[in-house]
């Protein structure tokens, strides 16, 4: 079943049930376009046997970045470069979907840009909180602009040859902030009830579906839960999935957590999710009871038996990130009947936020090696990986601030 096609509601199909989930590569070039290194990385995955590739964050606005080396697509000025990216990723027969995103309040202040959010609620990350602005509560015009930007980026992705888009409404980014009562304190049509908190996501999905061709996939990444008291709950997730059922969505990917509760790195505050390798699977099983569209589960999957368990649980697609950063040829190995287990050196640090940053740094270390044509090194020292990542991020931050200032002058 793992290597059988998945037929989507839009009438197209994915060659098999293994997906490369989105990872934040931070490998844009100086103009925040897909770099040569990024293309080389996707070429490695293209021949590895996955059926679907989801890009790392592509930002819908140049002033709203999840990281300083992010790719931005907000105009048709550089579509040929994005077409090269799409063609590179599809060279082995996989489908390629662009993940489109806006960080909202989850953008560090050293990037030099003011942040927007549903409400003026600061991130609560202990001593790391000071790295982020208190965001500005969005006006009606701000919300309309964000909706337009998501739709515009989706149209441009289609024009560049991508097979679909994934609207990122998880991990504490802007659309997830609207969904969560912790970050959304509004008392207008965008806040309060779950119907109101879901409105922006649903508007974006609905409008994208109307402006792209029928065979272009429209997917959503959704938290199964925030893992924070008073936040977006499992019950909320199930209700949002019911809303998406009727909107011609082709796939819903279930993940979880945010910067404040980094469950997506296996650091959930809910111990139940750590009992298994696929640590969002038990939530997905419940959501599968109400979903009428295909579901994908991402989070910690690295063994063939676990991937098969996911599919046997009624889930349609297996998403992997870290495992494919360590072994990009893992699907081909599984298809040959082999079962290597990609593992990184464990982190035993007590500080969960720091440990999450360490995990991400180790993953990015593997991505950088593959982007240079080198083999991954999963046993890299996490402290070294984190120090190196901080150095590179600081350098990229300076370059981003200079680029962003140039964009402002041109406007």
Nearest to 350 by CA among 361, 342, 358, 338: 358
pTM recorded for the entire structure: 0.93
Give the DSSP letter string of 203-215: HHHHHHHHHS-TT
pLDDT digits (tens, 9 = 90+) for 347-396: 989 887 788 889 999 999 999 999 999 999 999 999 999 999 999 999 99
CA distance linking residue 104 with residue 82, whole number of Å: 24
pLDDT at 129: 80
Give the DSSP letter string of 319-382: EESHHHHH-TTHHHHHHTT------PPP---S-HHHHHHHHHHHHHHHHHHHHTTPPP-TT--H
At 104, list the tokens: 């909202």
At 131, list the tokens: 């790295």
Mean model confidence pLDDT for the chain:
90
pLDDT digits (tens, 9 = 90+) for 83-98: 999 999 999 999 999 9
Structural domain boundaries of the chain? Answer: 6-344
pLDDT confidence tier of residue 272, bands split at 50, 70 and 90: very low
CATH architecture of 6-344: Alpha-Beta Barrel (3.20)
pLDDT at 282 over 90: no
């Amino acid at each position: 079943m793992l290597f059988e096609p998945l037929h989507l509601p839009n009438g197209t199909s994915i060659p098999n049930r293994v997906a490369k989930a989105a990872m934040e590569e931070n490998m844009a070039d100086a103009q925040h376009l897909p770099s040569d290194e990024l293309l080389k990385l996707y070429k490695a995955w293209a021949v590895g046997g996955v059926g679907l590739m989801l890009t790392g964050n592509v930002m819908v606005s140049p002033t709203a970045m999840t990281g300083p080396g992010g790719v931005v697509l907000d105009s048709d000025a550089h579509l040929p470069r994005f077409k090269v990216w799409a063609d590179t990723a599809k060279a082995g027969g996989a489908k390629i979907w662009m993940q489109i995103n806006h960080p909202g309040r989850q953008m560090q202040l050293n990037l030099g840009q003011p942040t927007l959010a549903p409400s003026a609620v600061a991130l609560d990350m202990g001593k790391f909180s000071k790295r982020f602005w208190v965001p500005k509560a969005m006006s009606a015009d701000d919300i309309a602009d964000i909706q337009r930007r998501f739709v515009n980026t989706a149209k441009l992705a289609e024009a560049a040859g991508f097979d679909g888009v994934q609207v990122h409404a998880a991990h504490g980014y802007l659309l997830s902030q609207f969904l969560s009562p912790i970050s959304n304190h509004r008392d207008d049509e965008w806040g309060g009830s779950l119907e109101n908190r879901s409105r922006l996501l649903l508007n974006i999905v609905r409008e994208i579906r109307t402006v792209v061709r029928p065979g272009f996939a429209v997917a959503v990444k959704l938290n199964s839960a925030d893992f924070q008291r008073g936040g977006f709950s499992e019950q909320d997730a199930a209700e949002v999935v019911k809303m998406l059922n009727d909107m011609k969505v082709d796939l819903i990917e279930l993940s979880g957590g945010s910067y404040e509760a980094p469950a997506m790195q296996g650091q959930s505050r809910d111990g139940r999710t750590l009992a298994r390798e696929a640590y969002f699977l038990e939530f997905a099983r419940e959501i599968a009871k109400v979903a009428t569209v295909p579901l994908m589960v991402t989070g910690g999957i690295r063994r063939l038996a676990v991937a098969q368990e996911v599919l046997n649980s009624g889930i349609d697609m297996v998403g992997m990130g870290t495992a494919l950063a360590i072994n990009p040829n893992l699907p081909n190995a599984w298809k040959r009947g082999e079962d290597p287990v990609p593992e990184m050196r464990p982190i035993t640090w007590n500080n969960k936020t720091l440990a999450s940053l360490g995990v991400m740094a180790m993953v990015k270390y593997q991505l950088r090696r593959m982007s240079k044509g080198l083999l991954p090194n999963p046993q890299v020292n996490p402290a070294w990986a984190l120090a190196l990542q901080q150095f590179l991020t600081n350098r990229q931050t300076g370059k981003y601030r200079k680029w962003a200032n140039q964009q402002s002058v041109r406007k």
